[in-house]
Homo-oligomer: A and B are copies of this chain.
């Protein structure tokens, strides 16, 4: 039950609407957490009922109204408690690897085409992460220190994506012989 906590850490950094959070997950923290908008809105509702967060309706002149949520003291305490407890190692369920494992049941071309498609998507994620890194590196030292931990999570994304692409190249070379 960690979508809850993923939402809370983001709200702890800055108040946001559900829509903002989803965009955050989609665009910047995809290597970190993924959630559909329906799931996010549901958790926001539950967190509001538990009084871990509150919201204010913000009317916008150029866009539909939105609810901007912020974390409460209760929420900050709950989040702190969770963060102080150990978390389980990450669970990996990778359908592409399942497919590759059983790749003899389809054509080599099909496998290579699918790999190429995934490669494109990983390349675009990496590019995006590198842009964010560049922005971070241009900050002054105080701000860099302030965002050090989020930056460390960004580094996980960058190193992880590079490793994925390295692996994909290896597979392409091996299968093309």
Contact = CB atoms under 8 A, between A and B. Distances in A.
Given A159-B166, A163-B162, A95 B88 contact: yes
Interface stretch (A59-67, A133-141, A147-155): A147-155
A57 interface: no
Contact of A97 (B32, B96, B104): B32
19 contacts: A9-B101, A31-B92, A32-B92, A33-B98, A34-B93, A80-B106, A83-B103, A86-B114, A86-B117, A87-B99, A90-B92, A97-B156, A101-B150, A155-B171, A159-B163, A159-B166, A159-B167, A160-B167, A162-B163
Contact of A79 (B102, B162, B167): B102
Contacts of A86: 114, 117
Contact of A83 (B9, B35, B102, B166): B102
A80 B92 contact: no
Contacts of A100: 149, 152-153
Contacts of A83: 99, 102-103, 105-106
A106 B77 CA distance: 11
Given A8-B102, A84-B106, A100-B149, 19 more contacts: A6-B93, A9-B98, A9-B102, A30-B92, A32-B98, A33-B94, A35-B93, A88-B95, A97-B156, A101-B150, A101-B153, A103-B149, A148-B175, A156-B167, A159-B166, A159-B167, A160-B160, A160-B167, A163-B163
